Structure 1
Amino acid sequence: MSPSTPHIASQLRQMIYYHLDNNLVRNALFLAGRLYAYEPRTSEASYLLALCYLQNGQVKAAWETSRNFGLRGTHLGCSYIYAQACLDLGKYLDGINALERSKALWAARNNWNKHSETRRQQLPDAAAVYCLQGKLWQAHKEHNKAVECYAAALKLNPFMWDAFLNLSDTGVDMRVANIFRMSPEMHSMVSSSNLEDFELPSDKVLPPDGPLQTQANVNPSLDPFTSATFRSDVSTTHGSSALWEKLNGSTVSVASSGTAPHNMREGMETPGGQSSESDDPRVTNGGGGAEVSWEPPLAPAKKNRTIQSINTDHPMNPPPKMRPTGFRPRTRTKGETDEQTTVHGEKDITTGHRIGDRKRTVSGQVAHPSTSHSTDQGTGQRRSVRLFNQIKPTSKFSTAALGVKDSRELKKVRATGTKGRIATTSSVGRVVSGNNRKHIGEIHDSDSKEYRGTSVSTSNGNQPAPPKGSVSERSKSVEALAWLLDLFSKLASGHFYLTRYRCSESIQLFNSLSQGQRETPWVLAQIGRAYYEQAMYSEAEKYFIRVKALAPSRLEDMEIYSTVLWHLKNDVELAYLAHELMEVDRLSPQAWCAVGNSFSHQRDHDQALKCFKRATQLDPQFAYGFTLQGHEYVANEEYDKALDAYRNGISAHSRHYNAWYGLGTVYDKMGKLDFAEQHFRNAAKINPSNAVLICCIGLVLEKMNNPKAALVQYNRACSLAPHSVLARFRKARALMKLQDLRAALAELKILKDMAPDEANVHYLLGKLYKMLHDKGNAIKHFTTALNLDPKAAQYIKDAMEALDDEEEDEEDIA
């Protein structure tokens, strides 16, 4: 007899997912080709083949394979793979249209808190799709729509870190604390997830389409993400969206449509949650499939044991409730709940036999507890046995109430109780008798969800109390979630402050993390970048050294480290860093930037340009590579090429203030002061805490014969960076132009203490004393400047001769 088509396809799908999960992509790709050849017209086969192509790096093949069903929006997986391929191939609008056409398939999906080692959601949910849509809109330069998509993704899943990073890069104002808060929806999701292991039913049975793919198992009435409020939020425009208000000043969390019930406290300690190897013998390694316990099963009970002795064997852990097998879990109305108590004698839908039929396992024990011990429907004995099958028994149940009949029943209850102590939910798939066996192709990793116990009401409407462990597990999960939200809030706030160049606040937040979280490559690199933005290169170098020690193969942020070494004039370390990065990945733009900086430090600008161009060829969106190209063109006085390079950097990332600064510098050198001032101000809007940019604005205003406006900028720069020699020097020079000599002298005295070996400071002091007619101090500082900078001897000697000529003129007048 030839095998049936569904079973062959199911076997192939299981093998594909097996190889994907074990990172055997080439094997999975070959099997996906067999499945596609077997079912060329099915969307599932196209999706799996496109998925394998994408994970194997064959983006164009994934695009072609998923295009048929992806463009029409008839299969969510195909649309998602197609949109991802469109993002890589630059077909942004095609990807956006594909996701919009499949919106009915993902708009109400939320897979948060539904993944484990053995349970998985293969198709994306709304948060993942919104994040991908945001990337597509951002690449298409539609930043307002990208912001809306990122905000919608974070509302559904605040742990969507990629969406937060991209949202920060757009430059939009937001309150980070409103994103990472415990919302009522998240609280209910965690609670229902924990109770599901004890009493909540699944919403539907797993279809045979995907071996690892489960469906949403939260009732629509309990699902906080299917409310009308959410649908209206995500459909409004950027200017009037309620969701947008939550990001900008509202006390309501982005992840919630209501007020958050729990406020996180600063410095929250890690809750004492259980690890994966918990001491609780009831914890298993997952919630789906045939469950494998962490402990071996206990030996069968002796026949002369009683129910009372079973209950007293483990006084700290009473055996959990048995799973009722007479119902398919689904959402019930009140009327249906009242009728539940009358259907225990019906046929079991999972086995095809009546509950009273006793199927045996290999050991001879009863596979399914019988619910009909006698023909008398009204006896207390039958009712107690029925309750025993639905409610977790405790030591309060007496032997008489349980209706013990013989040693076989004792053995049955003992076996079930033992298994219940090992696993939260029993495995029906262990039954050996023929009618209870499934075909291999129909067994999925999440099959056990079909048999989860339901909270069955009694005739008087009272529901059984949840197990004792469910309350503690629920509280531990809520505590763990609150701790994670607090951690993410600190990490996100630190990164947000860094992207807004509030570097001191960023460093303070990162340093407030626990040592384990702080001593990680990502956090240390963020602190290093914060010091770099403050021009504190020595401090930045210390943190990047620690990053390299922890993660020698890390490439991210290494272009900044190479620039730090360039500023410190550490040629040896810079060359060594470039060599290391090239060994790690010679096709990374960061490695070529390091090589280019090394050549630039050696003043080999042509070779440096070649390296920076190679970096931007490898990554056309690498804005920093374009900016470094512009700097080298300026050094070669090729201003037109420098303008093009800086403009390419702004096109790659509009908030890259270094490129705006470069444009201002070029226009300043070309004498186009109005354009220079405009571009310097654009750079200062992005990075308002950078004293160098403020000084550049002041310098341009000074060249435009507006010393008063320049002085305002210099005062601002001195307040931002009190230790900046450049800002204080230019402020003193502006004061001298405005004939405020006493104030200028006070500034220069402070400056002399800050930079005693700076020739320009002593030269300016000499000119100031000359204006004050203090010839002795003027000659003293001119001489000091001459000794510090012999190359400027001609200028200094001219100033000293002018001082002598002025003195002679005064004598003639006298």
Structure 2
Amino acid sequence: MPQDAPPAVLTPQLCQRYSSLVWYFLDADLHKSALFYAERYFVLDQKNHDARHLYATALLQAGQPHSAHKLVNIPLDNRCTGCVDIIAKCCMKLGRHRQARGALDVCLQDPDYTPTQSMSARIARASPDDAIRHCQAGNTALKGNLHESAARSYIRALELNPMLWEAFEGLCAIGDIPPVETLFPVRPMPVLQKSSEIGPSKLSIPVATGAGFFTPDAGNGGNLFRGWKPELRKDVLTGPRDSIATTDSSFYGEPSFQGPVRASRSQPTTLAVQPPAVRPLSSADEAGPVTKKLRSTVRQRTAPPSTKAGDIQHQLKPSKSTGAIPETVPDDRTKSSKTTTASRSNTIGAGRPAAGGSSTRRSTRLQSGGSKLAKTVRDRRRVAAKTRSQSHDSGIEEEPGGSDQPVVAPPALFAQHTHSESSPPTSAAWTAEQEHATQEAYENDLADYHIYEVMRKFASASRAMALYDCRLCLDELETLPAQHKRSASVMAMLGKAHYELGQYPEAERAFEAARNLEPHRLWDMEVYSTLLWHLQRNVRLSFLAQELLSTDPKSPQAWIAVGNCFSLQKEKTQALTCFRRAAQLDPTCAYAYTLSGHESIDEDLSKAISFFQSALRADARHYNAWYGLGTCYMRMSRLRLADYHFKKASQIHPQNAVLLGCVGVVRERCGEYDKALELFNRAIEFSPENALVRYHRAKILIAMKKYTAAVQDLETLRDTSPDESNVLFQLAKAYRLLGDDVKFTQLLAEVRDVAPKSVAKIRKLVDTVKDADVGEEVMDEG
């Protein structure tokens, strides 16, 4: 037995994700998808008013005002102004205008009311994205019976946005469903990174905003990093860069994560956090590795001291981009490189004056060197040129712009700058901010992962139900978290699975649970009414029909329930009228045509065939219509057509024991006993309690002279149906062929008591010789 999935904790990130999803689909008029995620959100915490309001809004826009009104019409102690506002909308939809006016007056008396997060002001999308358009194209193609085109559109929509639940439901309706692992691959669970695991190079790249795989982003087509490029800041670094998420925060609610800007496009980020390297070949290298400077700037930093200003001006030419050479304060050459670094950290770019008057000036320092250093100017310049040629060893590359490119000091130098508004936080502050951003990104990714996994589990169950693999569907539903198991949609799916398996008591309990959770539910109630018809629940079926009519008298489900109620009372004319009314209200309701055909099959076969064909035009995968056509052709003794339609029905529902039995009956009529027996064996494997299939297998076994096996099946049927005359007659025949005259006589007496009109067939059976072929002597012929 599968274990329940652990319950999810309703975090703010999870609420935000569900809210974004629901509004995303509501704006696109994809109400099925919006309802699916709104219900998933609501069942996690039914006391959460934000989830309640969102679910009620989705129900209201999906045309279910009664269910929406019931959801927000809670006791006054727990009711908020947001609930009253939705009550007013539901009353206006239902035509209860006086109640709507009273609810609006209550809202106006609360001027301090603040809407919940999902109901607050937001910016709706002006036009749907490509995924929405593909899904809408699939919906229209499906209604036009263009199944191949619809399947392509749905698959493309899921490729663009895997959270489009309506696209997956469309694939289920077509029946051509790829495996869930193909449509929704397994994703690893997010892992929270610790600060020790984040290297220095990871601190400068943009942090994921947690927008996830489904939250749309205006302008980027859902890809948060599509429009992001590392750019060079031409001004002074003023701190972290702006958020890379969409600016529409009121709609998507994405947090803004900040990350530091790289010092230069050509300088790796790791150089900004490493200590400066010591290179004594040039005075310009004493401050550590820096970004590549202009040629004129490098010469200023590598020129030796001189006693003549004219020599200095002759040797050092001004830069085109920085203007004249600034004057510098004299400084002793014997000072340490640390002092030189500190003095240069106050200079942002070449050509800009120092921030404070206490900093040393380079021109004075060059003049204080004395005339004895003038001889070494050329040697120093050669060393500087050699230094520039070897600059690639420190990871510094030449900018393609030449002297037109601005000079930006590395972050290592900014870290030593005095505290000012333009200087970014220290490395410790960056680490704390990065940890906070990483934690938020992890929580957002965890919310995405939870929604995606829940959706995958529902997809597996829905796919199994669409393929009529009902046992697999039940197993998949057992793996859902406990909160989702108690939802109305899950209970309805559970009831349909048990109904298709022929487990009517279990199906009845599941549908009753769904009705208790959502008393005004209309979806799937046509199946529930047919279930009550099979169980002969006359009173309960009548009550259900009245409730559905009071909820929505224009719904096809209500009129199907009324028709089943009349059919159970043997009023076929009234039942047929109700089924036709359901078909008029919804021409795509295949079940209404099918029930009309079953009501007409005993009176007019041609009319019944017309109804069944209309059902197939509405839904080509409606196996009940294929079964009805096979039954009609079987009664017309057109075995080939009957075999074709029964096989089509069995291909759609391969685990239905009744359909396999019908194919076996056709094989039996054609004299192919071996194939018929194989089909009956398969049918009994799927449904051991099916009495009709077991009865047909017993007849085949008698025809194949396997009397002992036939007696076992007939005795089983005798225990479950002791008053069935056909079972007693076949059992008496089997004992007669086995030579047990005592049991043969006893059973004939029981047959005479149960069915007095069978005296003629009993006399014929008694007069039959033991060795004669009596395999075709049956009481239910025709």
Alignment TM class, shorter chain as reference: 0.5 to 0.7
Q: Distance in 1 between matches of 2:222 and 2:735?
A: 82
From the superposition, tell whether residues 776 and 623 of structure 1 become closer, same or farther in structure 2 (CA, over 3 Å): same
Q: Which residue of 2 aligns with 1:488?
A: 455
Equivalent residue in structure 1 for 2:129, among 109, 125, 128: 125
Kindly state the Cα deviation for residue 724 of structure 1 after the two structures are TM-superposed. Answer: 1.6
Equivalent residue in structure 2 for 1:765, among 726, 731, 747: 731
What does residue range 88-103 of structure 1 map to in structure 2 within 5 Å?
Answer: none
From the superposition, tell whether residues 473 and 703 of structure 1 become closer, same or farther in structure 2 (CA, over 3 Å): same
Kindly state the Cα deviation for residue 800 of structure 1 after the two structures are TM-superposed. Answer: 4.3
In structure 2, the residue corresponding to 1:467 is in which secondary structure? helix
Q: Which residue of 1 aligns with 2:551?
A: 584
Kindly state the Cα deviation for residue 534 of structure 1 after the two structures are TM-superposed. Answer: 1.0
Kindly state the Cα deviation for residue 702 of structure 1 after the two structures are TM-superposed. Answer: 2.1
1:798 partnered with 2:755: no
Equivalent residue in structure 1 for 2:153, among 138, 149, 155: 149
Structure 2 counterpart of 1:552, which letter?
Answer: P
Equivalent residue in structure 2 for 1:665, among 606, 631, 640: 631
Kindly state the Cα deviation for residue 692 of structure 1 after the two structures are TM-superposed. Answer: 0.4
From the superposition, tell whether residues 217 and 159 of structure 1 become closer, same or farther in structure 2 (CA, over 3 Å): closer
Aligned-CA RMSD value: 5.0
Kindly state the Cα deviation for residue 124 of structure 1 after the two structures are TM-superposed. Answer: 1.1
| TM-score, normalization by structure 2 | 0.56
Q: Which residue of 2 aligns with 1:597?
A: 564
Q: Which residue of 1 aligns with 2:589?
A: 622
Kindly state the Cα deviation for residue 693 of structure 1 after the two structures are TM-superposed. Answer: 0.7
From the superposition, tell whether residues 373 and 619 of structure 1 become closer, same or farther in structure 2 (CA, over 3 Å): same
1:781 partnered with 2:747: yes
Q: Which residue of 2 aligns with 1:634?
A: 601
Q: Is the 8 A contact 2:465 2:497 kept in 1?
A: yes
Q: Which residue of 2 aligns with 1:546?
A: 513
Q: Which residue of 2 aligns with 1:696?
A: 662
In structure 2, the residue corresponding to 1:158 is in which secondary structure? coil
Kindly state the Cα deviation for residue 807 of structure 1 after the two structures are TM-superposed. Answer: 8.9
Kindly state the Cα deviation for residue 752 of structure 1 after the two structures are TM-superposed. Answer: 3.0
Q: Distance in 1 between matches of 2:163 and 2:257?
A: 33
1:530 partnered with 2:497: yes
From the superposition, tell whether residues 685 and 339 of structure 1 become closer, same or farther in structure 2 (CA, over 3 Å): farther
Q: Is the 8 A contact 1:180 1:488 kept in 2?
A: no
Structure 2 counterpart of 1:476, which letter?
Answer: E
From the superposition, tell whether residues 381 and 586 of structure 1 become closer, same or farther in structure 2 (CA, over 3 Å): farther
Q: Distance in 2 between matches of 1:584 and 1:509?
A: 32
1:612 partnered with 2:616: no
CA deviation vs aligned residue, 1:716-739 (integer Å, no higher than 9, x gap): 212222222111111111111122
Q: Distance in 2 between matches of 1:740 and 1:808?
A: 15
In structure 1, the residue corresponding to 2:601 is in which secondary structure? helix
Q: Is the 8 A contact 1:732 1:748 kept in 2?
A: yes
Structure 2 counterpart of 1:780, which letter?
Answer: Q
Q: Distance in 2 between matches of 1:584 and 1:196?
A: 59
Q: Is the 8 A contact 1:119 1:287 kept in 2?
A: no
From the superposition, tell whether residues 646 and 596 of structure 1 become closer, same or farther in structure 2 (CA, over 3 Å): same
Q: Is the 8 A contact 2:258 2:437 kept in 1?
A: no
Equivalent residue in structure 2 for 1:737, among 703, 715, 719: 703
Q: Is the 8 A contact 2:208 2:441 kept in 1?
A: no
1:728 partnered with 2:694: yes
From the superposition, tell whether residues 472 and 800 of structure 1 become closer, same or farther in structure 2 (CA, over 3 Å): same
Aligned residues: 504
Structure 2 counterpart of 1:640, which letter?
Answer: S
Kindly state the Cα deviation for residue 469 of structure 1 after the two structures are TM-superposed. Answer: 1.5
Structure 2 counterpart of 1:793, which letter?
Answer: P
Kindly state the Cα deviation for residue 500 of structure 1 after the two structures are TM-superposed. Answer: 1.1
CA deviation vs aligned residue, 1:566-593 (integer Å, no higher than 9, x gap): 0000011101101001111111111111
Q: Which residue of 2 aligns with 1:178?
A: 182
Bigger Rg, structure 1 or 2: 2
Q: Which residue of 1 aligns with 2:649?
A: 683
Q: Which residue of 2 aligns with 1:502?
A: 469
Deviates more, 1:519-528 or 1:695-704: 695-704
Query: Percent identity among equivalent residues?
Result: 33
Kindly state the Cα deviation for residue 138 of structure 1 after the two structures are TM-superposed. Answer: 2.3
Structure 2 counterpart of 1:141, which letter?
Answer: N
Q: Distance in 2 between matches of 1:499 and 1:582?
A: 28
Structure 1 counterpart of 2:623, which letter?
Answer: Y
| TM-score, normalization by structure 1 | 0.54
1:140 partnered with 2:144: yes
Q: Distance in 1 between matches of 2:292 and 2:583?
A: 67
Kindly state the Cα deviation for residue 378 of structure 1 after the two structures are TM-superposed. Answer: 7.1
Structure 1 counterpart of 2:638, which letter?
Answer: K
Deviates more, 1:646-655 or 1:736-745: 736-745
Kindly state the Cα deviation for residue 643 of structure 1 after the two structures are TM-superposed. Answer: 0.7
Q: Which residue of 1 aligns with 2:446?
A: 479
Q: Distance in 2 between matches of 1:779 and 1:675?
A: 42
Q: Distance in 2 between matches of 1:522 and 1:763?
A: 46
From the superposition, tell whether residues 739 and 172 of structure 1 become closer, same or farther in structure 2 (CA, over 3 Å): same
Q: Which residue of 2 aligns with 1:106?
A: none
From the superposition, tell whether residues 519 and 770 of structure 1 become closer, same or farther in structure 2 (CA, over 3 Å): same
From the superposition, tell whether residues 651 and 218 of structure 1 become closer, same or farther in structure 2 (CA, over 3 Å): closer
Kindly state the Cα deviation for residue 404 of structure 1 after the two structures are TM-superposed. Answer: 5.2
Q: Distance in 1 between matches of 2:624 and 2:164?
A: 29
1:752 partnered with 2:718: yes
1:516 partnered with 2:477: no
Q: Is the 8 A contact 1:593 1:612 kept in 2?
A: yes
Structure 2 counterpart of 1:133, which letter?
Answer: A
Q: Is the 8 A contact 1:198 1:466 kept in 2?
A: no
Structure 1 counterpart of 2:561, which letter?
Answer: A
Kindly state the Cα deviation for residue 551 of structure 1 after the two structures are TM-superposed. Answer: 0.6
Kindly state the Cα deviation for residue 641 of structure 1 after the two structures are TM-superposed. Answer: 1.0
In structure 1, the residue corresponding to 2:502 is in which secondary structure? coil
CA deviation vs aligned residue, 1:621-668 (integer Å, no higher than 9, x gap): 111111011011113x11111111100100111110000000011111
Q: Is the 8 A contact 1:120 1:213 kept in 2?
A: no
CA deviation vs aligned residue, 1:311-353 (integer Å, no higher than 9, x gap): xxxxxxxx996999xxxxxxx98799999999xxxxxxxxxxx
Q: Distance in 2 between matches of 1:624 and 1:217?
A: 41
Where structure 1 has 5 or more consecutive residues not aligned to the other structure, the ranges are 1-16, 24-54, 58-114, 188-194, 203-211, 225-283, 295-318, 325-331, 343-370, 383-389, 392-396, 422-462
From the superposition, tell whether residues 200 and 378 of structure 1 become closer, same or farther in structure 2 (CA, over 3 Å): farther
Kindly state the Cα deviation for residue 128 of structure 1 after the two structures are TM-superposed. Answer: 0.8
CA deviation vs aligned residue, 1:126-179 (integer Å, no higher than 9, x gap): 111111111222233322221111111111111111100111111114211222
From the superposition, tell whether residues 118 and 631 of structure 1 become closer, same or farther in structure 2 (CA, over 3 Å): same
Equivalent residue in structure 1 for 2:609, among 634, 637, 643: 643
Structure 2 counterpart of 1:801, which letter?
Answer: R
From the superposition, tell whether residues 339 and 121 of structure 1 become closer, same or farther in structure 2 (CA, over 3 Å): farther
Q: Is the 8 A contact 1:691 1:718 kept in 2?
A: yes
1:709 partnered with 2:669: no
Structure 1 counterpart of 2:160, which letter?
Answer: L
Q: Is the 8 A contact 2:131 2:158 kept in 1?
A: yes
Structure 2 counterpart of 1:128, which letter?
Answer: I
Q: Is the 8 A contact 2:347 2:353 kept in 1?
A: no
Structure 1 counterpart of 2:595, which letter?
Answer: L
Q: Is the 8 A contact 1:562 1:597 kept in 2?
A: yes
In structure 2, the residue corresponding to 1:784 is in which secondary structure? helix
In structure 1, the residue corresponding to 2:637 is in which secondary structure? coil
What does residue range 66-81 of structure 1 map to in structure 2 within 5 Å?
Answer: none
Q: Is the 8 A contact 1:381 1:403 kept in 2?
A: no
